[in-house]
Structure 1
Amino acid sequence: MKANIVPVAGCILLALAVCGSPARAEPLAATRLAVDDVKWEGDPAGVRRAYLVGDEKKPGMYAYRVRFPANHKVQPHFHPDERIVTVLSGTLYVGFGEVFDESAMKALPTGSIWTEPVRQPHFVFAKDGEVVFQVVGGNGPSGVTRIEPK
């Protein structure tokens, strides 16, 4: 009877590994995108976004750029995936936590980076003028969960 336990346990573990795996990502395609070919989309608040690689709503790596107008604030929120963000121009103020607290923000000038671990609450402010930054995420699908003020 003990001899049967090992093969059965092995089959169960294999089934869990196959059935429980996350959706498979599409392989990253070789891409060359000149700066003049970047297509920007806007919203009524003046925020513009340019999708560079992949799709944050699908499994796999993605990258996009965001342009904030001066004085644009983003209230506390988090994402279900890890991200690495690079400031390409301007100075962006970034804070971590569930409450927007300007005194807790750090000024990140052009060339600076910050990381966003999974579900890390954060908030940002383009306090001094227009800011452009690039987001790279390696494990979509992604999304935004806003944190309601208490």
Structure 2
Amino acid sequence: MANIFRVTGYIAFVLFVSGAPGQTEPLATAQLTPDEFKWDPTPAGGQRAVLVGDEKKSGMYVIRARFPVNFKVQPHFHPDERVVTVMSGTLYMGYGEQFDESAMKALPAGSIWTEPAKQPHFVWAKDGEVVIQVVGGNGPSGVTLIGPK
């Protein structure tokens, strides 16, 4: 039994040192002020700025998204885990495969929510502009929309 643990430990060490498949991109240094963010329009009408990393690659990434008043994001999910912080405004957020206002919770600035991998969710900037920050660490990421039922 001790030999199994020794062999397992050795394999783990070799994989760590040799750069095993699935290794993430290293985090680069960054110092950004808000006026240095590069905001790009999204196809749905919001805006986003990639602050750290690259969501299309493995590794950590940070994105800010800006939603105008009454902006709705229909049910969707991502292949990776995420933690989201409401930076400004109040965002209504719910989990599920159908947009359901009664299932939403109002999350004011400073609130957070989690998005486990493949967990359907939806949001609404009901009362005014909202800015969120998304931190993901298990890219590559993506979006899968869930059609109406």
Q: Which of structures 1 and 2 has the bigger CA Rg?
A: 1
Aligned to 1:3: none
CA offset digits 1:106-143 (Å, max 9, x no partner): 00000000000111110000000110000000010001
Q: Which amino acid is the alignment partner of residue 62 of structure 2? A: A
Aligned to 2:87: 88
Aligned to 1:31: 30
User: What is the CA–CA distance in structure 2 between the aligned matches of 1:46 and 1:145, rounded to whole Å?
Assistant: 18
Quick one: structure 1 residues 114 and 22, their matched pair in 2 at CA, closer, same or farther if it must change by over 3 Å?
farther
Aligned to 1:128: 127
Mapping 1:101-140, distance limit 5 Å: 101-140=100-139
Give the aligned CA root-mean-square deviation in angstroms: 2.2
The alignment-based identity, stated in percent, is 70
Mapping 1:1-150, distance limit 5 Å: 22-43=21-42, 45-150=44-149
Unaligned runs of 5+ in 2: none
Count of matched residue positions in the alignment of Structure 1 and Structure 2: 139
User: What is the CA–CA distance in structure 1 between the aligned matches of 2:115 and 2:64, rounded to whole Å?
Assistant: 16
User: What is the CA–CA distance in structure 2 between the aligned matches of 1:117 and 1:43, rounded to whole Å?
Assistant: 23
Q: Which amino acid is the alignment partner of residue 80 of structure 1? A: P
Give the secondary-structure state (helix, strand or coil) at the position aligned to 2:35.
helix
User: What is the CA–CA distance in structure 2 between the aligned matches of 1:131 and 1:34, rounded to whole Å?
Assistant: 19
Unaligned runs of 5+ in 1: 1-5
Give the secondary-structure state (helix, strand or coil) at the position aligned to 2:123.
strand
- TM-score of the aligned structures, taking structure 2 as reference length: 0.85
User: What is the CA–CA distance in structure 2 between the aligned matches of 1:32 and 1:114, rounded to whole Å?
Assistant: 25
- TM-score of the aligned structures, taking structure 1 as reference length: 0.84
